Amino acid sequence: MDLFNFDFDLPVTNPTWIFFLVMVIILFAPIIMGRLRIPHIIGMILAGVIVGKYGFNILERDSSFELFGKVGLYYIMFLAALEMDMDDFKKNRIKGLVFGLITFSVPMILGIWSSMQFLNYSLITSVLLASMYASHTLITYPIVSRYGLSRQRIVSVTIGGTAVTVALALAVLAVISGMYKGEDIGGWFWVQLLLKVFVLCGLIIFFMPRIARWFFRKYEDPVMQFIFVLAMVFLGGGLMELVGMEGILGAFLAGLVLNRFIPQISPLMNRIEFVGNALFIPYFLIGVGMIIDINCFLKGGVVLKVAIVMSVVATFSKWLSAWFTQKLYHYTKVERKMMFGLSNSQAAATLAAVLIGHEIIMENGERLLNDDVLNGTVVMILITCIISSIETERAAKRMIVNEITDKDSKKSESEKFLISVSNPDSIKGLIEMALVMRKPKSKEEMIALSVINDNNSSEAKEIVAKRNLDNAAMIAASADVELKTMLRYSLNISQGITHAMRENDVTDLIIGLHRKVNIMDSFYGNVADNLLKTNHRQIMILKLLMPVNTLRRIVVAVPPKSEYEVGFVKWVNQLCRVAKQLGCRVHFFACEETGEKISAVVKRQQGETFTEVSLLEYWDDLLMLTSQVNYDHLFVIVSSRKGSISYQPSFEELPMQITKYFSNNSFMMLYPDQIGEPQDVLHFSDPRRPNNSDVYGNVGRWFYRLFKKDEKNG
C-alpha cells in the first residue's frame, strides 16, 4: 500500500470533503469580507462563484446544495415572517399591499417595454422576463436581522410587499407555463387556482395555530419544539407546491402563523436563528453563487447586451418602485434605501421562472427563454445581490445611528430584573416572563437569586439552590441573554432579597406565588408580605399554569388613581411589551379617568400595540371580570401598598376573590414603583384585616351610589 498515493480529483465529490469545504467557506468568508468592509452575503455568493464549475471547479453542485439550498430559501422567508412585528404588520398591511402592487407593476411595464424595444423579444417572452424583474428574494434580510432592525415599520412594509409581488409573479409564471402545457387558461383556470390557494391558506391559518398551541403546552423539550417548527415550515411549503404555487409562500405563511408562539427574545427563537444563519442560509447563498457564470462578461455580443439590459431594468425598476412608495407615504430617505436594498435582489422566483422558461419549446423549435437570457439572468442575480447587499448594509447602519441618537435624546430609566428562584417548577415561567417584559435591546443583565435561611441551612438545600440557579442560567443563555446568578445566606429570606436588590440597583422583582403549606399561611406568604412592606420597587407575584408563549390575551384590572403612582407609565409599557412579544392583545379594565391616561400612554409610547380599554365601574367587585378571563389568558391585577395614592381598602379582599374566582387562571399581582421607601411602622390594627378606613370607605361608596341612583330616577 502506497501511503502517498492520494486519489484527489476535481471537482470534489466525496460528501465528507464537500461538507468540510462548505464549512470552511462559511467560517472564513465573513472574516475576509469583514476586513474588506464588504457585506458577508456577497462573500458567500462570490465564494460560490469561485468554487463552482464556472470558477475553479472545486465543488460540484450536487443534490446536497439543492436540498440545503431549498431549506435555506424557505428559512429566509420563514424568518422574515417570524421576526415581523405583527402589530406593525397589521397596522401597515395596506401600505405593504400597495408597495407590493407598485413593485410588481413598475418592473412589469418597464420590463415588457425594454424587452420588446431593445432585445426584440416576443410579447410572451417579454411578459415572462418582466415577471422575473417583478419578483425578488429577501437575500439581504439576514443583514437586517443581524442589526436588530427586523421589527422596523419599513421592514414590515417591504416584507408584506414581497409576499404580494412574488405571488403575482408566480401567477404569471403559472399562466404562461400552462399555455405551453395545453391547459385552458380561461376564467375557470383562474377560479381553480384562486380557490385552491384560498382554501389552503384558510386551512393553514385555522389548523396550524391550534396544533402549535397544543404542542407547545404539552411538550417543553427544546429539541422537540425546534423539530416541530421545522416540520410546520415544510408542511406549509409542501402544501403550497401541491396547489401549483411556489413553496416559499407556504413557508412565509407558516412564519406568520407561528409568529405569536415564538417570542422575539426566547430560547426557541435563538435556536431557530442560530441554525438558519449558521448552516441553511449560507448553504443557499453558496449554491446561488455556483450557478453564476462570470465568463458571460467576457463573451461580449448578445449575451453581454442581454445581461446589461436585464440588470439595469431590474435595478432601476425596483429603485423607482421604492421611490414612488416613499413619496406616497412620506417615508424618509434612509427608509427608501432600506426598501430598495431589501427588494432589489433577485434569486428564488427569478431562477424558477428562467429555468421553467428555458425548458419550454415553442412551435418554431426555439426556447421561450434562450441561452442568452439564462446567462444574462445569472449575471443579473450577481449584480442585484451585490447592489442590494451594499444598500441594505448602508441603510441599516444609518438607521442604527439614528436610533441611537433618538435614544440619547430621550432619557429613559434603565430596567434591571431580579428573579427569585426557589421552586424548580416555576423557574422557566418566571425567566420567560422577564425575557418578554424587558426592553428588547436592553444591555442590562438579569439576576437570578436564591436565598437560603441561615437557621435552616443544610448541604442538601444548598445543592438544590445551586441546581435551580444553573437551570435559570441555562434558560437565559439559550435566549442569548446575560444572567447573573447569586446564592445568598440570610437569617430572613425577604431581607436577603431586599439587600440583593439594593446592592445591584434592581428596579423590578419577579417572584412566584407562595404555595400554602398550612391553613395559617397567608395567600402571598410571609416573604412576599415582608417584601411589600420594606421595598418601594416594582414587585410582580406570578402564577403560570401554561408556557408564556401560549397565552392568548392579557386582561388587566386597574384601580382608580393608579395614574398618579410614579411607576404607572413603566408597568403600562411593560405589559404592552409582553403583548407585543406574544402577539396578543392586552385588555385594560379601569375607571374612565384612569382609562384615558392608559390610552394616552399607549398611544404615545406603544402606538403599534393592539390594546383595548374598557370601563370598570366598581373596583370592589372583580366578579364581573370572570367572564372576560379564560383559561389561556393572563389576568393581571394592579395593586398597591398601604398608604399609597391608589390604595383601596378592598385590596384586603383580593386573596379571597382570586382564590374563589380565578384559581384556574394564570395571574400576576403587580405592585408598581412608589415614591420613597415604605414606612415600616407598627399599627395597632392587624394590617390583614379591615380597619376604620375600610368602614369609612364603604360608607362613602354607599352614599355615592345612593345619590347616583337618585339622579338617575330624577
Query: At residue 469, does pLDDT exceed 80?
Result: yes
* Mean pLDDT over the full length of the chain: 80
Q: Which of 674, 329, 419, 392 is nearest to 535 (CA)?
A: 674
The grid cell for 461 is 438545600
| pLDDT at res. 405 | 60
Length of the chain in terms of residues written? 714
The predicted-structure confidence for 288-342, as pLDDT tens digits, reads as follows 778 777 776 666 667 788 888 989 999 999 999 999 999 998 899 999 999 999 8
Q: What is the mean pLDDT of residues 452-459?
A: 75
pLDDT grade, residue 482 (50/70/90)?
confident
| 416-544 and 545-681 have identical folds | yes
Check: CB of residue 539 under 8 Å from CB of residue 426.
no
pLDDT grade, residue 212 (50/70/90)?
very high
| pLDDT at res. 678 | 45
Q: Which of 558, 674, 552, 536 is nearest to 614 (CA)?
A: 558
Specify the amino acid at residue 143.
I
The grid cell for 189 is 383556470
Interatomic CA distance for residues 128 and 123, integer angstroms: 9
DSSP-derived letter for residue 32 is: H
| pLDDT at res. 533 | 83
Check: CB of residue 497 under 8 Å from CB of residue 420.
yes
Neighbours of 369 (CB within 10 A): 23
Residue 419: strand pairing partners? 448, 510
| pLDDT at res. 684 | 34
Specify the amino acid at residue 181.
K
Q: What is the mean pLDDT of residues 521-536?
A: 76
Check: CB of residue 264 under 8 Å from CB of residue 151.
yes
How open is the CA angle 221-225-65, to the nearest 5 degrees? 130
Query: DSSP readout, 190-239?
Result: HHHHHHHHHHHHHHHHHHHHHHHHHHHHH---HHHHHHHHHHHHHHHHHH
Task: Locate the domains of the chain by residue range.
Answer: 15-404, 416-544, 545-681
Q: What is the mean pLDDT of residues 443-469?
A: 84
pLDDT grade, residue 645 (50/70/90)?
confident
Interatomic CA distance for residues 223 and 208, integer angstroms: 19
Interatomic CA distance for residues 660 and 654, integer angstroms: 10
Check: CB of residue 177 under 8 Å from CB of residue 356.
yes
| pLDDT at res. 30 | 81
Specify the amino acid at residue 212.
A
| pLDDT at res. 688 | 37
The predicted-structure confidence for 558-612, as pLDDT tens digits, reads as follows 988 888 888 898 999 999 889 888 888 899 999 888 999 998 888 876 655 678 8
Element at 114 (helix H, strand E): helix 93-118
Interatomic CA distance for residues 234 and 255, integer angstroms: 11
Residue 82's contacts (CB-CB under 8 Å, 6 or more residues apart) are: 255, 258, 259, 262, 269, 272
Interatomic CA distance for residues 43 and 31, integer angstroms: 9
Check: CB of residue 372 under 8 Å from CB of residue 302.
yes
Beta strand pairing call for 538-543 and 508-512:
parallel
Check: CB of residue 687 under 8 Å from CB of residue 532.
no
Highest mean pLDDT among 81-95, 168-182, 195-209, 520-534: 195-209
pLDDT grade, residue 227 (50/70/90)?
very high
| pLDDT at res. 382 | 79
| pLDDT at res. 679 | 42
Q: What is the mean pLDDT of residues 654-658?
A: 82
Q: How far is CA 131 from CA 108, 343, 362, in A?
A: 6, 14, 19
Residue 120: strand pairing partners? none
Q: What is the mean pLDDT of residues 628-638?
A: 90
Query: At residue 526, does pLDDT exceed 50?
Result: yes
Interatomic CA distance for residues 138 and 344, integer angstroms: 9
Residue 448: strand pairing partners? 419, 485
The grid cell for 283 is 448553504
Strand order in the sheet with 633-638: 483-490, 446-453, 417-420, 508-512, 538-543, 666-671, 633-638, 553-557, 585-590, 611-615
| pLDDT at res. 228 | 93
Interatomic CA distance for residues 663 and 282, integer angstroms: 49
Q: How far is CA 1 from CA 5, 8, 14, in A?
A: 8, 17, 21
Interatomic CA distance for residues 255 and 545, integer angstroms: 26
Q: Which of 438, 444, 445, 451 is nearest to 498 (CA)?
A: 451
Q: Is the CATH number 3.40.50.620 carried by domain 545-681?
A: yes
Percent of the chain with pLDDT over 90: 15
Highest mean pLDDT among 29-33, 176-180, 358-362: 29-33
Check: CB of residue 475 under 8 Å from CB of residue 432.
yes
Q: What is the mean pLDDT of residues 172-186?
A: 67
CATH of domain 15-404: 1.20.1530.20
Q: Which of 227, 221, 237, 232 is nearest to 259 (CA)?
A: 232
The predicted-structure confidence for 402-413, as pLDDT tens digits, reads as follows 776 655 544 556
Specify the amino acid at residue 422.
S
The torsion of the CA quartet 699, 704, 710, 712, rounded to 10 degrees, works out to -150
Q: Which of 313, 213, 311, 195 is nearest to 260 (CA)?
A: 213
| pLDDT at res. 696 | 44
Burial (CB < 10 A; 0-12, 13-18, 19+), residue 439, is middle
Q: What is the mean pLDDT of residues 179-189?
A: 64
Query: At residue 170, does pLDDT exceed 90?
Result: no
Interatomic CA distance for residues 624 and 127, integer angstroms: 61
Q: In CATH, which superfamily holds the domain spanning 416-544?
A: HUPs (3.40.50.620)
